[in-house]
Homo-oligomer: A and B are copies of this chain.
Amino acid sequence: MIIVLKPECTKEQLQSFKDQLTSDYGVKVNIWEGVHSTVLGLIGDTTAIDIDYIKAQDIVDEVRRVQEPYKKANRKFHPENTVIELSNGLKIGDGSLTIMAGPCSVESSEQICEIARDVKASGAQILRGGAFKPRTSPYAFQGLKAEGLDLLKEARKETGLPIVTEIMRVSHIDMFENVDIIQVGARNMQNFELLKELGKTKKPILLKRGLSSTIEELLMSAEYIMAGGNDNVILCERGIRTFETYTRNTLDLSAVPVLKSLSHLPVVVDPSHGTGKSSLVESMSMAAVAAGADGLIIEVHNNPKKALSDGAQSLTPKQFDHVAKSVFGLKNYLNSQANK
């Protein structure tokens, strides 16, 4: 951590501040005196230093971290890729491409089972589906809730596909015991109480980037889960909010190589929410794979026109089949090139 002091800082203030930093945080402080300003360099573990505390000092002009504020999610301290293994042996982040597919909302036994069979036939390895739905309007369909979870498990039983579904509340964690991957949605990425509790489980967590969250904040939220003892975190880029209104969100695909370089965690991309338009899902899926994503999470509905939520961005099973073939083909091509 580098601290630039204001020009008016006196020698006494400087000494006193240095002593305080040393005693409060156990860091070593180097002083470099320039013409216009003095700069302090802090050596040691600065992760726990509250940058706001430093900024609030009268004599401080600016503070800059050199170290990233996350440790467990940091590739520097964990160079190998994290590979997450589900109970059926499926691995995420091992160099293969994982596709999670299914409807935005679980609606009925017929619907979820039919979609599950379809997406499995197309090569999807995981079934997604919302039981508890975060909706902007209190008057919109909120999901089938516990019944939705049961229907997902039914579809899993029938097809063997592991399931991923979103949690919205700490008190539901027990109910999600038998879910294979628990999803934390974009709106809950900084629901720190939920993250802390999920950190106490051993469940794989699919952590979606918040609509206006920086890459560093996403990693800090992963760090919350990991600090609690759960290392099974999958990061998900799903579009950020910008001034552009043609697409629902702006899919930030550069986040994929950035996250892969800063962290060892697997990264998946959600082109459905990322664009909000089914017509863009294929091209953005291809781009995500080419950018190095470990997986995709795609909305598929047997009858998007009748979908109770997010129909506009859902693919039909037939469309999904085409996308799946394309992306698996691309992944094979890319892997064959890498192995040359």
Q: Chain A, 297-310, contact with B by CB distance < 8 Å: what is the 0/1 string?
A: 00000001111111
At the interface, yes or no: A187 with Cβ under 8 Å from chain B?
A: yes
What residues on B are CB-neighbors of A257 within 8 Å? 279-280, 283-284
What residues on B are CB-neighbors of A284 within 8 Å? 253-254, 257, 291
At the interface, yes or no: A14 with Cβ under 8 Å from chain B?
A: no
Check A250/B261 contact, CB under 8 A, given A39-B41, A312-B55. no
Q: Chain A, 30-70, contact with B by CB distance < 8 Å: what is the 0/1 string?
A: 10111111010101100110101101111001101011011
- Within the complex, which residue of B171, B243, B312 is in contact with A212, where a contact is CB–CB below 8 Å? B243
A311–B56 contact, CB under 8 A? yes
At the interface, yes or no: A234 with Cβ under 8 Å from chain B?
A: no
- Within the complex, which residue of B4, B52, B170, B283 is in contact with A66, where a contact is CB–CB below 8 Å? B4
Question: How close is A298's CB to chain B, nearest CB, in angstroms?
Answer: 15
What residues on B are CB-neighbors of A337 within 8 Å? 326, 329
Question: How close is A148's CB to chain B, nearest CB, in angstroms?
Answer: 15
What residues on B are CB-neighbors of A134 within 8 Å? 190, 192
Q: How far is the CA of A139 from the CA of B72 in the complex (A)?
A: 12
Q: A interface vs B, CB < 8 Å?
A: 2, 4, 30, 32-37, 39, 41, 43-44, 47-48, 50, 52-53, 55-58, 61-62, 64, 66-67, 69-70, 134-141, 168-171, 187-188, 190-193, 196, 210-212, 214-217, 220, 223-224, 227-228, 240-247, 250-258, 261, 274-275, 279-280, 283-284, 286-292, 304-314, 326, 329-330, 333-334, 337
Given contacts A47-B137, A47-B139, A53-B307, 5 further A-B contacts (CB under 8 A): A2-B39, A50-B308, A138-B227, A243-B243, A330-B333
